[in-house]
Amino acid sequence: MKEHFDVRPKGVCSTKISFDVEDGVVSHIIFTGGCNGNLKMISKLLEGKTADFIIDNCSGNTCGFKNTSCADQLAKCVAEVVGR
């Protein structure tokens, strides 16, 4: 069953991350705000990837002087919704 999530990331420029999860696969990733071009590319690259892939590959990524990034926040949100 496909579930849709709208989450508020913390400590980054984007103000909302929306995505769907179905059978452990993440799709329809949309970042609101932030670095538009970069976030569109991140969404394209991660489209159809498993939750585990996103968590394993995006966790810990940082942006500038911040200790997080939009990709890291996506990984945290995905981990939370899949219970990892």
2-57 pLDDT, tens digit each:
999 999 999 999 999 999 999 999 999 999 999 999 999 999 999 999 999 999 99
pLDDT score recorded for residue 84: 83
SS (H, E, C) the chain: CCEEEEECCCCCCEEEEEEEEECCEEEEEEEEECCHHHHHHHHHHHCCCEHHHHHHHHCCCCCCCCCCCHHHHHHHHHHHHHCC
Q: What are the structural domains, with CATH classification, of the chain?
A: 3-82 (3.30.390)
pLDDT of 47 reads 98
Predicted structure pTM score: 0.95
pLDDT value for 38: 96
- Given this model, what pLDDT does residue 4 score? 98
Task: Please give the Cα distance from 5 to 56 (Å, whole number).
Answer: 20
The neighbouring-strand residues paired with 58 are: none
